[in-house]
């Protein structure tokens, strides 16, 4: 029975004490709760992060939650690879996809702030095509700037400068590196005497403790061996717990959640995944209850479990949207490759004599006069075989068919197609497309789009 309660209220559903009371419909659950906490003890890890009273927080990783986290992080890794390939294969389509992701996020921010907007306005902010931005849209522009900052500036270790740089960008301020303390909150949210109570709920950290708590958070993020999504969730909680800033603590918790994931090997991906709706009214009550539970019980699993579930939902949505983008790209290229070729007929009058520049047909004299550019010529068959063999030895990731095709289609100034590769290598269209894109990734071709058709032109290798 002990194990049954432990699994039910820990692994299947990480329940609070009140959740257990409601589930069992009994008022006294002391003995049952003891069994739940005993079960959780097997999977509990104490963290280096401490609360305002300098008591360490813990994290519980039971089997089902661990499995969910591993699955989520695998999805994030795969999506990072897919987005990178999508950018290589069709940067124009991928940029449109990115802008749509930003649009969805800014739309959520606008709703949260009660900002009146229309589609054209948000698109103009994203494409930076408004000469003078009305003041009511400044928050949207600044939040977008922060997302783009997270997308590209995630290297290095966590420190106070990283966090305050992001906050200054959200405020639209220039960061004064010589006076970092000016960016922290200056208004105490509790009476000073209330800080002496041990084990009490804090509306925010005492002012004098804020810099130290921020540095403690940075040390934890740099050194912790917890899963990436756990660290990101803990960062989200801690910012809302100590409220280090006068304004935008909630927005900073989301931005830092994404920043942690970016730094933890997911790079540019997190800034594009919707997560901002966690701040909406529909989540407000749950966030408050589970944040308070994590604070008072020193167990960060409560709030993290909610955030991880929420992220997983949006990652699945993002995965489906990206799959649609990939499918659209394939359909466009397939359609372009199968379009019937139009043959332009210059004249229906046959030229019957190629030995003379003056040709007579039924008493009419034609003068053959053409203007053609110099035709570039590639390698002959023997040289192409030698080049192909060498390419395979120099580039292990290059397949034999790719090496053979490139060695016979490497003439600078010419353009080649997926249809050519498909026909000459006798492979499926998808294989041909993947092969040509791999040659692009290796730096042998540059991919260009002409209307609905993709072409590949050789790049001079140094």
Taking the C-alpha atoms of residue 96 and residue 117, their distance in angstroms, rounded to an integer, is 20
Ranked by mean pLDDT, which of 129-133, 195-199, 329-333 comes out on top?
129-133
**Res. 196: pLDDT tops 70:** no
**Res. 189: pLDDT tops 80:** no
pLDDT bin (cut points 50, 70, 90) of residue 186 is very high
Q: What pLDDT is recorded for position 91?
A: 84
**Res. 231: pLDDT tops 80:** yes
The residue ranking higher by pLDDT, 35 or 325, is: 35
Six-digit token pair at 260?
Answer: 């942690």
Q: What pLDDT is recorded for position 1?
A: 43
Backbone angles phi, psi at 49, to 5 degrees: -80, 130
Taking the C-alpha atoms of residue 449 and residue 340, their distance in angstroms, rounded to an integer, is 18
Residue that is written with structure tokens 């603590």 in the block:
249
Q: What pLDDT is recorded for position 355?
A: 47
C-alpha to C-alpha distances, 368 to 89, 344, 349, 365, 373, nearest whole angstrom = 44, 18, 12, 10, 16
The residue ranking higher by pLDDT, 29 or 427, is: 29
Give, for 454, the enclosing helix (H) or strand (E).
Answer: strand 453-458
Contact 321, 98 (CB under 8 A): no
Mean pLDDT, the chain, whole residue set: 86
Percent of all residues in the chain with a pLDDT value above 70, rounded to a whole number:
85
> Each residue of 162-174: pLDDT tens digit?
999 999 999 999 9
The residue ranking higher by pLDDT, 241 or 371, is: 241
> What value, to the nearest 5°, has the Cα angle with vertex 141 and ends 138 and 147?
140
Taking the C-alpha atoms of residue 267 and residue 117, their distance in angstroms, rounded to an integer, is 30
Q: What pLDDT is recorded for position 324?
A: 78
CB atoms within 10 A of CB 130: 14
Taking the C-alpha atoms of residue 164 and residue 356, their distance in angstroms, rounded to an integer, is 81
Backbone angles phi, psi at 114, to 5 degrees: 65, 35
Tell me what the mean pLDDT of segment 125-131 comes to: 90
Tell me what the mean pLDDT of segment 46-75 comes to: 95
Tell me what the mean pLDDT of segment 240-251 comes to: 96
**Beta strands 453-458 and 56-60: pairing type?**
unpaired
**301 CB burial (10 A radius; 0-12, 13-18, 19+):** buried
**Res. 379: pLDDT tops 90:** no
Taking the C-alpha atoms of residue 353 and residue 107, their distance in angstroms, rounded to an integer, is 70
Six-digit token pair at 325?
Answer: 């983008």
Using the 8-state DSSP alphabet, how is residue 266 labeled?
I
């Amino acid at each position: 029975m002990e194990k049954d309660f432990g699994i039910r209220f820990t692994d299947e559903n990480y329940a609070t004490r009140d959740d257990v009371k409601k589930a069992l419909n009994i008022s006294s659950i002391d003995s049952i709760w003891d069994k739940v906490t005993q079960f959780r003890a097997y999977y509990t890890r104490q963290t280096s992060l401490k609360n305002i009273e300098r008591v360490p927080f813990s994290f519980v990783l039971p089997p089902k939650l661990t499995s969910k986290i591993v699955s989520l992080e695998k999805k994030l890794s795969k999506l990072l690879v897919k987005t990178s390939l999508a950018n290589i294969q069709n940067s124009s389509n991928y940029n449109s996809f990115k802008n749509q992701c930003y649009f969805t996020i800014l739309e959520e921010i606008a709703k949260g702030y009660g900002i009146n907007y229309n589609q054209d306005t948000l698109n103009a902010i994203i494409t930076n095509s408004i000469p003078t931005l009305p003041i009511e849209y400044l928050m949207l522009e600044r939040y977008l700037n922060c997302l783009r900052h997270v997308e590209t500036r995630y290297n290095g270790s966590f420190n106070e400068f990283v966090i305050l740089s992001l906050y200054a960008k959200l405020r639209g301020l220039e960061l004064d590196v010589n006076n970092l303390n000016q960016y922290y909150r200056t208004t105490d949210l509790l009476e000073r005497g209330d800080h002496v109570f041990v084990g009490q709920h804090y509306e925010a950290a005492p002012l004098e403790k804020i810099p130290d708590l921020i540095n403690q958070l940075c040390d934890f993020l740099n050194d912790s061996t917890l899963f990436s999504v756990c660290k990101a969730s803990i960062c989200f909680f801690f910012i809302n717990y100590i409220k280090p800033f006068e304004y935008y603590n909630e927005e900073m918790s989301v931005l830092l959640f994404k920043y942690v994931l970016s730094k933890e090997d997911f790079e540019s991906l997190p800034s594009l995944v919707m997560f901002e709706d966690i701040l909406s009214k529909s989540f407000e009550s749950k966030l408050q209850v589970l944040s308070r539970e994590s604070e008072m019980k020193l167990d960060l699993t409560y709030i993290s479990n909610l955030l991880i579930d929420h992220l997983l939902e949006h990652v699945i949505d993002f995965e489906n949207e990206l799959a649609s983008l990939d499918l659209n790209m394939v359909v466009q290229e397939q359609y372009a490759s199968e379009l019937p070729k139009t043959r332009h007929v210059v004249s229906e009058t046959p030229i019957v004599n190629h030995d003379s520049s003056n040709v007579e047909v039924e008493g009419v004299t034609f003068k053959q006069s053409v203007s053609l550019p110099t035709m570039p010529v590639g390698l002959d068959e023997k040289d192409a075989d030698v080049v192909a063999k060498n390419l395979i030895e120099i580039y292990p990731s290059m397949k034999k068919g790719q090496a053979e095709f490139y060695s016979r289609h490497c003439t600078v100034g010419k353009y080649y197609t997926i249809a050519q590769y498909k026909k000459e290598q006798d492979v499926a269209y998808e294989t041909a497309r993947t092969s040509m894109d791999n040659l692009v990734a290796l730096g042998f071709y540059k991919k260009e789009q002409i209307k609905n058709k993709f072409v590949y032109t050789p790049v001079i290798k140094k």
